[in-house]
Amino acid sequence: MLKLMYITNRPDVAEIAENAGVERIFVDMESIGKGLRQGGMNTVQCHHTTDDVRAIRACVKKAQVMVRCNPIHEATKDYCSSKEEIDAVIENGADIIMLPYFKTAKEVETFVRLVDGRAKTLPLLETPEAALAVDEILSVDGLDEIFIGLNDLSLGYKKKFMFEVLADGTVERLCNTFKRKGIPYGFGGIASLGKGLLPSERVITEHYRLGSTCAILSRSFCNVQRMENIQQIRKVFDDGLQAIRAFERGCEEKLRACDSEYFAENTKLVQAAVKQIVENMA
């Protein structure tokens, strides 16, 4: 089963997500440069804080607390340094730290050195430069996992739709490289079954074909800003997770049966669907 992550700084929502089976509660502190890169896009920009990390750590019991910090940076009048930020994140209870928007192995080396074994390290590969330097990046000692960020990676490649990099083989090439290095990996986000421009069932099946181990539950899975009450949020998580896990069991059965035709057909359907979506955007 995929390790599922959900982005929130609300303790009540974190408890619901954890009880429904979400393995990682994701606090998102990234803000440096993100608004400029993703301006005009319908993406999540949270601006969470170390206080949020502490609050989530206090409320979850089984799930891991995962924190996306800022890209490697020195201190400015607006931000503390990466060292200070990472130290604070760890002190407030992070189990896993994600490094976004790096381009070089040197940045990843700095990240691993700053974490210094006090939490798990999870670089977020989301630039064409990092994709080009992937072998050097994966040679850095101290990486626990790696994740492909489809939004920024697709922007970097001048794509119109984030799943184009899944359909054109970019994600597959990276996943194969991760697999050869023996490092766990994941990519992108998934919505509730039957939802999303690209149906979630197609995306989940690609996760299984490519050997992915984790995924983010997208904002469309449970957009709490549009929910009327906490019981509605709980129902969305309980029903949605139950449906996803049931679908995953079917994927696992196909893997055990070595049903390559099933996965090959799904890939063709993904490619056709992405092509149609991009054409509709033109």
* Contact by Cβ (8 Å): 151, 100: no
pLDDT for 75 equals 92
Q: Three-state DSSP class for 204?
A: helix
* Contact by Cβ (8 Å): 37, 19: no
Q: What is the pLDDT along the chain (282 residues), one digit of tens a residue?
A: 999 999 999 999 999 999 999 999 999 999 997 666 555 455 555 689 999 999 999 999 999 999 999 999 999 888 899 999 999 999 999 999 999 999 999 999 999 999 999 999 999 999 999 999 999 999 999 999 999 999 999 999 999 999 999 999 999 999 999 999 999 999 999 999 998 889 999 999 999 999 999 999 998 899 887 877 999 999 999 999 999 999 999 999 999 999 999 999 999 999 999 999 999 998
Compute φ and ψ for 138, nearest 5 degrees: -70, -10
Full-model pTM: 0.94
CB atoms within 10 A of CB 172: 16
Both tokens assigned to 157: 């490649």
CB atoms within 10 A of CB 257: 9
In the chain, the amino acid numbered 276 is Q
CB atoms within 10 A of CB 75: 12
End-to-end CA distance of the chain: 37
What domains are there in the chain, each with its CATH number?
3-281 (3.20.20.60)
